Structure 1
Amino acid sequence: MSEVLAVFEQPNSIKNFLKRDSNIAFLAGGVAGAVSRTVVSPFERVKILLQVQSSTNSYNQGIFQSIRQVYREEGTKGLFRGNGLNCIRIFPYSAVQFVVYEACKKKLFHVDGYDRQEQLTNTQRLFSGALCGGCSVVATYPLDLIKTRLTIQTANLSTLNRSKAKNIAKPPGIWKLLTEAYKSEGGLKGLYRGVWPTSLGVVPYVALNFAVYEQLREIGIDSSDSRPPWKSNLCKLTMGAVSGGVAQTMTYPFDLLRRRFQVLAMGGNELGFKYSSVWDALVTIGKTEGFSGYYKGLTANLFKVVPSTAVSWLVYEIVCDSMRNW
């Protein structure tokens, strides 16, 4: 506390405080996450609707057709339903990832994260990415759970919603969903429902995202100091898109499980599925929906993840450079 108070007692102390490496990573990571998720919010919502519905529900006409359907039924607000909470969640989620990753570089492997002559090995990148992915899940999971439920509660998925017209007219808000989950689903356990399949998906996804991007950055950016800024930024966008696409495609089945476990308590039987464990979910999906069932909503997810990851890495790099040069 005394350290924070001292920041406001000395000239230029606020600037010096913000220019610390950990604070730069936290602020830049948070801003990058919030901006990138807002850009792709309509795809995020449709992806979740495709993931949690059964094969007989109404969102089966493709990505853009589903977006148009959401717009017809709920208007512009429907396309961004849950995005406010998503930004509240994604700021610390993304910030924690970048802070932990930079800390791993310096504290565990003694590599200067901003010196391009020093680089982590791919094994070190995967380990650091996995650790920051796990930390971000633990820190923000209850908000992710509520965001998912907020996203689907007004959608025309099944009798789950059609039988609750009152809730469609005025669905419960963030605080009510949080308190209901805590009170009726076993306290803290209820707020972390689905955290295991979420971790199975997020940890390798973040590990691959960081490892692929850092490898591409080592190849594509280190020799690009003479490029004009727009070419350098385009290169960063491309590398972010590739890293996000590769990571998400390889880990997607667990992202699907993550969403389904999060909404089980809302009426899994009516939505068309009910699982007792992660293994039971994997076996059941294979039997009832085939191999394609593991990748339901993948196309919509790639429409979200590829630009989102690209924007996230670009914004992170720009904010970091701006804060260091302030």
Structure 2
Amino acid sequence: MADFIAGALGGACGVMVGYPLDTVKVRIQTQKNYNGIWHCVHSTYKMERVSGFFKGMSMPMSTVSVSSSIVFGVYRNVLRNLCKLKYGTTTVKPSKFDIFLSGYAAGGAQILVSSPADMAKVRLQTQMCPSNSTTSSLLTGPKYTGPINCLLTIVKEEGFLGLYKGSSALMFRDCNSFATYFLSYAILREWLLPFEQSNSEFIGVLFAGGFAGVVAWGIATPMDVIKSRLQADGVTQQRYRGVLHCIRESVRQEGITVLFKGLSLNCLRAFPVNMVVFLTYEAILRQIKPFSE
């Protein structure tokens, strides 16, 4: 239970740190009218001011806490059960394969919660609404007025399964990235152990968490692009029939580099976000662990 609570708090802190860059990343991946990161930042600020970078944040703020709780809780519990099954005790040091499998299971477990929330986030982030709206745009108004309205509209127009559009791409992205995420963190913590012994232990947590996030997003970005495009699809007209069709059409129209759109931004965002996630997780875990035993 301690892992579930610490994971929830860590995920919430991570959302607050990384959300503005996440909005920029989604817009670059799904829209063709940006020349790069700074052009997207400038255009977003010019049209929508600071609020444009935080569109749809209320939904991820609440659901990422649940999703992160599931990820860390499932990871730790699967890892403990694997060790007990294979070695007869939970105190033994797990193998790298045990860590990889536990991370893979954790990534898959949170899809049911994260997919609808991610859908609402992407739709709201890609909805352009100028801060200095004209009279005509004020009369029509934005299609989605908020996360709940967005989810209800999707269900009404696309059915309940519309909330899980792109979930297969999300599954490919999250299972592999979380497996890499936890494995990278464990390896880096082990490498940094001599440094931690002569300095603060939280220094190792910060660097291991940050670099683990960068490595995980390096693996996840190609499928993240496809996931974002499938989720944004249907706002005006439906272009993609599924994951493979989206990959084929995206590569055909924009070249293989389209699969790496937002990679630099993902890595830039991943370092501070995952520093905060793991720091919060480890700190909270130490505080509540004695009471949960």
Q: Spell out, residue by residue over 1:45-98, the C-alpha distance to the aligned partner (whole angstroms, 9 max, x if none).
A: 0000001012xx1x22x3234223322221221122222211112101100001
Aligned to 1:238: 207
Deviation, 1:165, is 5.6
* Structure 1 segment 221-300 matched on structure 2, within 5 A: 221=193, 223=194, 226-229=197-200, 232-268=201-237, 274-300=239-265
| Partner SS state of residue 120, structure 1 | coil
Aligned to 1:18: none
316-325 or 250-259: bigger deviation: 316-325
Q: What is the CA–CA distance in structure 1 between the aligned matches of 2:144 and 2:272, rounded to whole Å?
A: 30
Please tell me whether residue 218 in structure 1 is matched to residue 194 in structure 2. no
Amino acid at match of 1:304: R
166-175 or 136-145: bigger deviation: 166-175
Please tell me whether residue 49 in structure 1 is matched to residue 27 in structure 2. yes
Q: What is the CA–CA distance in structure 2 between the aligned matches of 1:219 and 1:168, rounded to whole Å?
A: 54
Q: What is the CA–CA distance in structure 2 between the aligned matches of 1:185 and 1:206, rounded to whole Å?
A: 30
Q: What is the CA–CA distance in structure 2 between the aligned matches of 1:117 and 1:196, rounded to whole Å?
A: 35
* Structure 1 segment 1-326 matched on structure 2, within 5 A: 22=1, 24-54=2-32, 57=33, 59-60=34-35, 62-110=36-84, 118-154=92-128, 166=139, 171-187=144-160, 189-221=161-193, 223=194, 226-229=197-200, 232-268=201-237, 274-324=239-289
Percent of residue pairs identical: 27
How many residues get paired? 283
Q: Is the 8 A contact 1:93 1:140 kept in 2?
A: yes
Deviation, 1:224, is 5.9
- In structure 2, the gaps of 5 or more residues are 131-135
Deviation, 1:310, is 2.0
Deviation, 1:319, is 1.1
Aligned to 1:160: none
- In structure 1, the gaps of 5 or more residues are 1-21, 157-162
Structure 1 residues 226 and 200: alpha-carbon distance in aligned structure 2, compared to 1, 3 A threshold: closer
Q: Spell out, residue by residue over 1:97-123, the C-alpha distance to the aligned partner (whole angstroms, 9 max, x if none).
A: 010011112223229xxx997322111
Q: Is the 8 A contact 1:154 1:168 kept in 2?
A: no
Q: What is the CA–CA distance in structure 1 between the aligned matches of 2:142 and 2:248, rounded to whole Å?
A: 37
| Partner SS state of residue 66, structure 2 | helix
Q: What is the CA–CA distance in structure 2 between the aligned matches of 1:119 and 1:84, rounded to whole Å?
A: 39
Aligned to 2:133: none
Q: What is the CA–CA distance in structure 2 between the aligned matches of 1:75 and 1:95, rounded to whole Å?
A: 32
Cα RMSD after superposing both structures: 2.4
Q: What is the CA–CA distance in structure 2 between the aligned matches of 1:195 and 1:170, rounded to whole Å?
A: 23
Q: What is the CA–CA distance in structure 1 between the aligned matches of 2:180 and 2:49, rounded to whole Å?
A: 36
| Partner SS state of residue 153, structure 1 | coil
Structure 1 residues 192 and 166: alpha-carbon distance in aligned structure 2, compared to 1, 3 A threshold: farther
Deviation, 1:227, is 3.7
Q: Is the 8 A contact 1:141 1:195 kept in 2?
A: yes
Deviation, 1:154, is 2.3
